[in-house]
């Protein structure tokens, strides 16, 4: 799908990015023919046509417009010698000025505040107004972006033609043990997904950020999302992330997002699963507090692999439901400082325990503690215990892990994977090495923000086409069209004879 110039201009005008950049550019005695807004329009036009992120493609996109549009955008201007059409040298000059204005005084592989704000404005403006409040849930993920410059030895960082690029690790659709190294940057994105039990929404990328591989992508995205909630006033709901995010120390990922009002739905790293110590006698496991006498096999449950058959799924769900009986009940939610109060599961009526005589009057369909601790800890003797923000600070999340509710909610995270796939699709735009032949973080991130805006417009068009098709099928008495499975999982295929 080719985007129209009018749609691209609407996004740029709505973002105010062109005017914001112009304010930062140095004043000159001689008039500059190419404005920042026109350069952004040229970048988005080139990307909308599936062209690479080269300045030559920007010039080609602008000079191929109808003559009236070229005059309106300043691509053609009247000089003393007659009409003058934009040249590559002028495109390069404006791009160089923008880079200098948005660069940090001492580039360190992280975007400047001005660059991040302009990219935020572009991506936010590419989301139509009716969909801005359609969902508060976001799926997070990062992917690799190779630098155009030749790699330098890991022992010589900051050298070469791209001093900000660094060596990083990527999995390339393989197990983490089989990954490989690359030289470049990490692109982190937060993609809109439907709220739990909510209506489907187009999977717009709402925020992106880019940093060299020496910077933690999880910490960078957490700061951007927290700023979106506090400065831009966009509320945060569920944040869906894989174990690459949840394994970070809570000060860089979980705590800033909780403080901004988000609820985490995340996979846990294998080293973070299962029992992780105790708090006043209660077992800390998978982000929750459990009775000291909880059966160990229940505490060691892990998520189901893809393609698990229905019988195994039902058995797993029954075990996670039984595990929930041993979880300490929430007596009082978090206060402003992150403290919360929990009560014994027997006192909450979920289990039967001799240490809580009143619980023995409950029906026997509840688990029963047959051998209570000889020396009961505080969680068994007190009515409630208090847990601070540091207790399960890394792993605490919205749903019990790995319950059926968690599995259904976490399944929405695939939207972030689809975003990464769409910007690496050779049929449209692919950000493989050579896609951009400019060095440095600033031009790369600005081009990626334009690509994200273009991708959002494509997503919107595809969403409308799908809705129209569903309406036609509904009128004919047919169900909505479902997506066909493109591959068979190893666990679902029959074994060879």
Q: What is the mean pLDDT of residues 28-42?
A: 92
Length of the chain, in residues:
497
Q: What is the mean pLDDT of residues 73-83?
A: 93
Q: Give backbone dihedrals phi and psi of 111, rounded to 5 degrees, phi first.
A: -70, 150
209 burial class (0-12, 13-18, 19+ CB within 10 angstroms)? buried
User: pLDDT grade, residue 1 (50/70/90)?
Assistant: very low
User: pLDDT grade, residue 175 (50/70/90)?
Assistant: low
Two structure tokens written together for 274: 């299962």
pLDDT at 496: 41
Neighbour-count burial for 224-237, b at 16+ CB within 10 Å, e otherwise: bbbbbbeeeebebb
pLDDT at 485: 62
Q: What is the pLDDT of residues 307-351, one digit of tens each?
A: 899 999 999 999 999 999 999 999 888 888 889 999 999 999 999
Q: What is the pLDDT of residues 240-289, one digit of tens each?
A: 999 999 999 999 999 999 999 999 999 999 999 999 999 999 999 999 99
In 54-163, which residue ranges form alpha helices assigned H by DSSP? 55-63, 67-73, 88-102, 113-125, 129-132
User: pLDDT grade, residue 486 (50/70/90)?
Assistant: low
pLDDT at 480: 86
Whether 298 contacts 273, CB under 8 Å? no
Q: What percent of the chain has pLDDT over 90?
A: 84
Q: What is the pLDDT of residues 200-223, one digit of tens each?
A: 999 999 999 999 999 999 999 999
Q: Check pLDDT > 50 for residue 495.
A: no
pLDDT at 2: 58
pLDDT at 337: 86
Cα angle, residue 333 at apex, residues 331 and 336 outer, rounded to 5°: 140
Task: Tell me if residue 334 falls in helix, strand or coil.
Answer: coil
């Amino acid at each position: 799908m080719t985007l129209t110039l009018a749609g691209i201009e609407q996004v740029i005008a709505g973002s105010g990015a062109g005017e914001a950049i112009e304010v930062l550019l140095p004043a000159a005695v001689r008039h500059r023919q190419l404005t920042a807004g026109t350069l952004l329009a040229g970048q988005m036009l080139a990307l909308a046509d599936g062209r690479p992120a080269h300045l030559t493609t920007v010039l080609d996109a602008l000079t191929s417009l109808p003559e009236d549009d070229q005059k309106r955008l300043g691509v053609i201007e009247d000089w003393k010698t007659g009409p003058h059409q934009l040249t590559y040298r002028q495109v390069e000059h404006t791009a160089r000025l923008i880079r200098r204005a948005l660069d940090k005084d001492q580039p360190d592989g992280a975007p400047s505040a001005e660059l991040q704000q302009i990219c935020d404005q572009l991506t936010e403006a590419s989301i139509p107004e009716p969909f801005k409040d359609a969902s508060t849930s976001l799926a997070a993920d990062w992917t690799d972006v190779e630098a155009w410059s030749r790699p330098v030895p890991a022992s010589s960082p900051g050298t070469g033609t791209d001093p900000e690029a660094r060596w990083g690790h990527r999995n390339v659709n393989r197990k983490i043990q089989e990954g490989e190294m690359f030289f470049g940057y990490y692109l982190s994105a937060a993609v809109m997904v439907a709220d739990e039990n909510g209506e489907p929404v187009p999977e717009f990328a709402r925020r992106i950020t880019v940093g060299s591989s020496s910077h933690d992508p999880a910490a960078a995205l957490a700061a951007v999302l927290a700023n979106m909630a506090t400065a831009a006033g966009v509320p945060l709901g569920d944040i869906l992330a894989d174990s690459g995010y949840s394994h970070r120390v809570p000060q860089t990922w979980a705590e800033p997002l909780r403080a901004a009002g988000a609820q985490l739905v995340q996979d846990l790293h294998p080293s973070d699963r299962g029992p992780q110590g105790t708090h006043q006698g209660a077992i800390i496991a998978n982000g929750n507090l459990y009775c000291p006498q909880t059966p160990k096999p229940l505490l060691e449950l892990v998520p189901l692999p893809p393609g698990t058959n229905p019988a195994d799924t039902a058995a797993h769900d029954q075990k996670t439901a039984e595990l929930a009986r041993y979880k300490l009940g929430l007596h009082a939610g978090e206060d402003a400082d992150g403290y919360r109060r929990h009560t014994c599961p027997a006192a909450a009526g979920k289990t039967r325990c001799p240490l809580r005589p009143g619980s023995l009057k409950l029906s026997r369909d509840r688990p029963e503690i047959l051998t209570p601790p000889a020396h009961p800890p505080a969680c068994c003797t007190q009515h409630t215990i208090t847990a601070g923000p540091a207790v399960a600070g890394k792993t605490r999340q919205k749903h019990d892990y790995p319950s059926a509710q968690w599995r259904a909610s976490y399944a929405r995270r695939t939207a972030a994977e689809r975003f990464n796939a769409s910007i690496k699709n050779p049929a449209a735009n692919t950000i493989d090495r050579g896609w951009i032949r400019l060095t440095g973080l600033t031009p790369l991130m600005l081009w990626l923000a334009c690509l994200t805006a273009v991708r959002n417009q494509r997503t919107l068009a595809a969403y409308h086409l799908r809705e129209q098709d569903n309406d036609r099928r509904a009128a004919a008495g047919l169900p909505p069209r479902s997506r066909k499975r493109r591959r068979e999982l190893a666990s679902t295929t029959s074994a060879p004879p």
